[in-house]
Structure 1
Amino acid sequence: MLPPVQTQSLVARLIREDWGRILSSLVASTGDFALAEDSLQDAVVSALEVWSKDGAPRNPDAWLITVARRKALDRIRRSQVADRKSSELALWLEQHHSDPEDREMTIPDHRLELIFTCCHPALEEKSRVALTLRALGGLSTEEIANAFLDKPAAMAARLTRAKHKLGAAGVAFKLPDPQDIAERTDTVLSVVYLIFTEGCHATNGEMMRENLVQEAIRLGRILTSLLPDHAEAKGLLALMLLSDSRRLTRRGDSGEFVPLEAQNRARWDQARISEGVALTEAALRHAPAGRYGLQAAISAVHAQAKSFKETDWPQIVALYDVLYGRFPNPILRINQALALSYANSPEAGLRLLASVEGEGKLASYQPFHACRADLLARLGRHLEAAESYRAAIALSRAPEEASFLETRLSALRLN
């Protein structure tokens, strides 16, 4: 018997770490995304009840799959649908109804098929990304809504429509045919990258969700294996590896946020850097360079610098110019402004930052205010810097980042 708190913690961990693998196995079995997800959610509710009374099973993921299959059969029996597909599925589920819950089970990994299913052209791009984040990343509807700056109710409705649309279109749960795989790859890559960025800086306020970071890298490796000649797949994997190489140095001994200039580069993961640099070079051999390949090139310059001071800032500024020229986005200018402040001067960085100040939703974008505060502080304009620091602190989701910015704010001379 487990206390309710421990049961909730165990179930939460399974959802975070194994949701995509379990769900993809259920979708492969049932051929119905909506039915699989609804049934898995039913099984999670049962787990919270049963495990609190009887204790957790030896194989909790197998338990969830077995119970979810029974819940799926119950749902089919309760529904008014009596078509051939439902009848055949019900028969298959009946055959597995008596399977023991706590048994050894090898769960096939169907996550890649699930990603391509979620990224089907029948769905608009935003729905593809949202659905894949829900299915593969185990993100809650609220977390996905936060990632899109949407309301949770609107995102819940979007996800429901997407699942129903896949069912109505009769989308098969399988990898697309070779002639169709290219058109869905760009969205697949963007989904994997969003999973990675959510893991690096979670919308729920955690500074990092390691399981999502490693899941994205794992999916990136699968994609480069599946698409060996796809430059952007290599570029994305390179970008993720190079970013993750600094993971152990982003926090201090007490869990505090450590900025790039203060990180101990001796602790950076050299194996990840070497692999990332090699993949970057391979990605850039295919002209024109893509979005991920260029971002990986910027990360590679940082990774190969012996110190923060010795970073090749002019090269980074030039790479951002190429990236912005091909994929204009005001967020790129924020990053470029910081690089320009070191390559040229804080004044030059501030001018570049001011050029995009009114674009998009930057007024509610924390890094914009944090960057502006840093540039103003370095120029000695402390009252203005304090105003920007306060705005950045108010928008910070991670307590560690807020604390770091508060320290910077306290260091200003405001007399």
Structure 2
Amino acid sequence: MSGEAAEPQALADVVRQAGGRVIGALAARFRDLDLAEEAFAEVCVRALEAWPREGAPRDPAAWLYRAAERRALDALRRRRTRERLAPEPPEPAPTAEDVMSDDAQLIPDERLRLIFVCCHPAVAIEARAALTLRLVCGLGTAEIARAFLLPEPTLAQRLVRAKRKIAEAGVPFEIPAPTAWPERLQAVLSTLEVAYAKAHEDAAGAGPHAGYGPEMLRLTRLLAAMLPDEPEAAALAATVRYAEARRPARLDDDGLMVPLAEQDPRLWDRALIAEADAYLAHAISPRPPSPRAIQAAIHRLWCRRQRLDEPPPWTAVLTLYDLLLTCRDDPIVRLNRAVALAEVDGPAAALAEIEALPAQGLDRFLPYHAVRADLLRRLGRLGEARAAYTAALALGPGPAERLWLTRRRDGPGGYP
């Protein structure tokens, strides 16, 4: 890699790995989320110009933090001058980074600590995970909106209101005591869930969020250790491990995505599956299974396969999805259930279920179009299937998924 190409790559790497930490530290320093994001964005642009010329700094994350801190201070000086207020805020002692380091024994991971900070109960429940995904994980507004099946303007308004609420309420950017963890847990779990989904949707691991896969293995392990009596934390740790265990079988030699039912179980990581089994056992015993425990159990059904010639567990999968609907009935669960229903009762029954789902949000959800396209193809409604495949492709799948969808759309089958 040439020097000119290496520096932008170095910036991309540090933004992905440390951007959330830097923005979070700036937000803690200035108590202003918008100011933190704007200052960080400005110095990233500056780094794109300076690093190829001067070389990447020895500690890129620290460079970005200090440069953004100076930008934020400059912005505050200009703002206070315009408002005829004191020109400069006093330097805090200790810094936000110092405080976070001091609290390492409470929550022993920087990103996980910041997630707990951002999931403050003063923020509306429906906005907590979205705000954290934007601030700490660096997901774009459009990505988060698709994950929550919301129009992008609606999601953007929620983020604005959440930031305003934090500013107006004077919410401290502090590490919560363990007694405050339970009230933030669901937002924390949702954040980790969506962050991992962004990694999992890219079978080739070639996208900007590929690093979330191994990172979520680590964070869910920490969270389960912190909260040993929370079945949902153990269940999420199990789900992430079951899914990551199958990653070695998700691509064929041509770089094509391999659907779950067609993956060779001999390629799966049995050590990760054993870890997942232990987490799932803890999540379901002795208590009734939680929604995330049921989801993990569905993954477990697949991971019990040892050979490709074993029949897929479609009937058992459908039974567990029926159970899941009794405690979590949402469009994504129903969409996943329809995949199993198609194998048990046929594609016509599954398509009827999908067509009955509310259209709002799903029109921007790639799996909806992909599942619908497959069902239409199997029913011989080839023109409609082609249109559905095209709609899925328009939503920007990863390279392996794009190749698979394109071959399904354009391959043999008599499409008009």
User: Shorter-chain-normalised TM-score: which range?
Assistant: 0.7 to 0.9
Secondary structure of the 2:90 match is helix
For the 8 Å contact 2:234–2:282, the answer to whether it is kept is: yes
Is 1:339 aligned with 2:340?
yes
1:112-132 CA distance string (max 9 Å, x none): 232122211221233212211
| Distance in 1 of aligned mates of 2:208 and 2:311 | 28
Q: Which residue of 2 aligns with 1:296?
A: 296
Match of 1:391 among 388, 391, 395: 388
Secondary structure of the 2:45 match is helix
Amino acid in the other structure paired with 1:315: A
Which segment is superposed worse, 349-358 or 184-193?
349-358
Q: Which residue of 1 aligns with 2:105?
A: none
Give TM-score, length-normalised by structure 2.
0.83
| Distance in 1 of aligned mates of 2:285 and 2:276 | 14
| Distance in 1 of aligned mates of 2:171 and 2:370 | 45
Is 1:123 aligned with 2:134?
no
Judged with a 3 Å threshold, the aligned counterparts in structure 2 of structure 1 residues 156 and 370 are, in CA distance, closer, same or farther, namely closer
Secondary structure of the 1:210 match is coil
| Distance in 1 of aligned mates of 2:85 and 2:291 | 46
Amino acid in the other structure paired with 1:314: T
Q: Which residue of 1 aligns with 2:52?
A: 52
Shift of 1:196: 0.8
Amino acid in the other structure paired with 1:330: P
Q: Which residue of 1 aligns with 2:15?
A: 15
For the 8 Å contact 1:24–1:109, the answer to whether it is kept is: no
Which segment is superposed worse, 315-324 or 138-147?
138-147
What aligned pairs does 1:10-409 form with structure 2 within 5 A after superposition?
10-30=10-30, 32-80=32-80, 87-89=89-91, 109-148=109-148, 155-201=155-201, 209-308=209-308, 309-342=310-343, 344-346=344-346, 349-361=347-359, 362=362, 365-375=365-375, 377-378=377-378, 381-382=379-380, 384-385=381-382, 387-396=384-393, 397-398=396-397, 399-409=399-409
Judged with a 3 Å threshold, the aligned counterparts in structure 2 of structure 1 residues 388 and 413 are, in CA distance, closer, same or farther, namely closer
Judged with a 3 Å threshold, the aligned counterparts in structure 2 of structure 1 residues 373 and 162 are, in CA distance, closer, same or farther, namely closer
1:63-90 CA distance string (max 9 Å, x none): 1122222223323333328999x73336
Secondary structure of the 2:22 match is helix
1:17-61 CA distance string (max 9 Å, x none): 221233334445555544433332232232122213211112211
Judged with a 3 Å threshold, the aligned counterparts in structure 2 of structure 1 residues 87 and 20 are, in CA distance, closer, same or farther, namely same
RMSD of aligned C-alpha atoms? 3.1
Q: Which residue of 2 aligns with 1:104?
A: none
| Distance in 2 of aligned mates of 1:69 and 1:370 | 45
Shift of 1:373: 4.3
1:173-192 CA distance string (max 9 Å, x none): 22333443212111111111
Judged with a 3 Å threshold, the aligned counterparts in structure 2 of structure 1 residues 283 and 43 are, in CA distance, closer, same or farther, namely same
Q: For structure 1, list consecutive stretches of 5 or more residues without a partner in the other structure.
A: 97-107
Q: For structure 2, list consecutive stretches of 5 or more residues without a partner in the other structure.
A: 99-107
Judged with a 3 Å threshold, the aligned counterparts in structure 2 of structure 1 residues 225 and 174 are, in CA distance, closer, same or farther, namely farther
Count how many residue pairs are aligned between Structure 1 and Structure 2.
392
Shift of 1:392: 2.6
**Identity percentage of aligned residues:** 36
| Distance in 1 of aligned mates of 2:335 and 2:154 | 30
For the 8 Å contact 2:237–2:276, the answer to whether it is kept is: yes
Shift of 1:194: 0.7
For the 8 Å contact 2:338–2:354, the answer to whether it is kept is: no
Shift of 1:337: 2.9
| Distance in 2 of aligned mates of 1:325 and 1:395 | 29
Q: Which has the higher contact order (CA 8 A, sep 6+)?
A: 2
For the 8 Å contact 2:141–2:152, the answer to whether it is kept is: yes
| Distance in 2 of aligned mates of 1:352 and 1:400 | 25
For the 8 Å contact 1:43–1:64, the answer to whether it is kept is: yes
Q: Which residue of 2 aligns with 1:105?
A: none
Q: Which residue of 1 aligns with 2:101?
A: none
Amino acid in the other structure paired with 1:359: L
Judged with a 3 Å threshold, the aligned counterparts in structure 2 of structure 1 residues 207 and 298 are, in CA distance, closer, same or farther, namely farther
Shift of 1:355: 3.0
For the 8 Å contact 1:366–1:392, the answer to whether it is kept is: no
Shift of 1:275: 0.6
| Distance in 2 of aligned mates of 1:229 and 1:273 | 21
Secondary structure of the 1:79 match is helix
